[in-house]
Amino acid sequence: MNTSKSESLFQRSKKVSPGGVHSPVRGFRGVGGTPVFIESANGVRMKDADGNEYIDFCMSWGPLLFGHQDPEVGEAVKSALTRGWSYGAAERYSLEFAEDLIKAIPIIDQVRFVSSGTEAVMSAIRVARGYTKRDLVLKFDGCYHGHVDSLLVRAGSGLAEMASPDSAGISTKTASETIVCALDDDVQLEQIFNTHGSQIAVAIIEPLPANNGLLLQRTEFLKKLETLCKKHGSVLIFDEVISGFRVGLGGMAEITGIRPDLVTYGKIIGGGFPVGAYGGRKELMEMVAPVGPVYQAGTLSANPVAMSAGHAMLKKIIRENPYPTLAKTGEWFTGELQKLANQYLPYPTLFQKFGSISWMVLGTDQPVRRIEQIPAEQKARYAEIFHSFLDHGVYFAPSGYEVGFLSTAHTKQDLEQVIEIAKKVFQGAKQK
């Protein structure tokens, strides 16, 4: 495969931007080699600068539930563009979108649109702190919530569950206001609430953790978290930036029957445009400016073009209910890949999946629910498999800790083609 144009674009890019990219994983550091530079995409196929074509399973990291260039989203965007693309004033695009969203998701009384998942999470945390007048944040090891200072932390090695910064530039004081609990650990969770419950403003969790592989949680664990939050007066946030509109219209809240106080969204809610949102109980949402004392604002918030894209996406989701078909396709596709992996890969493998999300665990056939259960060889093994797929024209996320996404645009024929390729890829894999 010729990738000389991508290579030369990458050299140029590295001179003008850190690592040549604008979000770290795109730089291929997790798998080595040169990132391919994508020039266009339609349906499930992406084309790079050298003219190579790939069947895409990254789907822009999840937003493209209906594939690239979904015509309904495209038409909505084009139509919005003819009326201007930013007003910075009250408008009806976000009103109509919010009305439909609230009608579709009963646990949301009010919603505020922002421009990214990170912003949604950051704002929701502020609301929770403003509401409870407490400082401590509880998060779970292995969950990612965007690059919010207080959440870019990991379990500290000192004081049992107190956090330490997971990035340079985050003060130890900020990190010290976050407590980190292991996923799937009911005992630790209870201990944390017993010790700190009266100071915990908010507990935030990805109810379907999908940023360190796919760490499927037991519903009982999530329910325990809900119960403890209620008992101690802490706000519960479900971060559904990935799972929202991906696993079902009402996300994991609907699937588990849990009612979080606040929910954060990103990705699918913008149909591939920069939109985030947070919403929930009226009492909490009325803490937000201009009604309440919690400040949050945005020059491009509820941008009419992005609102039109997201709203078109929501209308199509409601009309088509793509989830049963996506889940069935996901079950069949990962089932076929699992059979081939069992037959050809020289190490145990497990496809962990939930609906249209899946993740290849390379080194165990036992369910993985916590980050420390991820096999040590995951990164090296994934790098080999990733590159082999890429050379055959299949684009998975360039990191062994990221999940794959199916869209409704993936046809049986596309997937059969990938299954054929998978056979060759797995046959060629080395013991690492």
Ligand X SMILES: Cc1ncc(COP(=O)(O)O)c(C=O)c1O
Q: How far apart are CA 73 and CA 386, in angstroms?
A: 30
Site string for ligand X, 270-309 (x = CB under 6 A): ------x---------------------------------
Q: How far apart are CA 190 and CA 283, in angstroms?
A: 27
Neighbours of 24 (CB within 10 A): 12
Tell me: does residue 242 bind ligand X (CB under 6 A). yes
Site string for ligand X, 246-275 (x = CB under 6 A): --------------------x---------
Identify any residues that bridge with 349 across adjacent strands, giving them in sequence order.
362
Copy the structure tokens of residue 425: 């890829």
Residue 56: active-site member: no
Neighbours of 207 (CB within 10 A): 26
Find the binder of ligand X among 68, 112, 145, 381 (CB under 6 A): 145
Indicate the residue among 43 and 272 with the shorter CB distance to ligand X: 272
DSSP assigned state of 130? H
Long-range contact list for 36-41, CB < 8 A, 24+ apart? Answer: 36/3, 36/6, 36/390, 36/395, 37/5, 37/6, 37/9, 37/10, 41/68, 41/69
Give the torsion sign (CA, 275, 281, 284, 286): positive
Number of shown-chain residues binding ligand X (CB under 6 A): 14
Residue 395: active-site member: no
Q: Near ligand X by CB under 6 A, which window of 9-17, 239-247, 350-358, 404-412?
A: 239-247
Find the binder of ligand X among 155, 216, 241, 425 (CB under 6 A): 241
Catalytic hit among 56, 70, 184, 239: 239
- Angle at which helices 304-320 and 71-81 pack, to 10 degrees? 150
Amino acid code (one letter) for 5: K
Indicate the residue among 3 and 116 with the shorter CB distance to ligand X: 116
Copy the structure tokens of residue 272: 């591939």
Site string for ligand X, 97-126 (x = CB under 6 A): -------------------xxx--x-----
Residue 144: active-site member: yes
Find the binder of ligand X among 48, 161, 184, 206 (CB under 6 A): 206
Q: How far is the CB of 341 from ligand X (least distance, A)?
A: 26
Which residues participate in catalysis according to the annotation?
A: 144, 239, 267
- Give the footprint of ligand X on this chain (CB under 6 A): 116-118, 121, 144-146, 206, 211, 239, 241-242, 266, 276
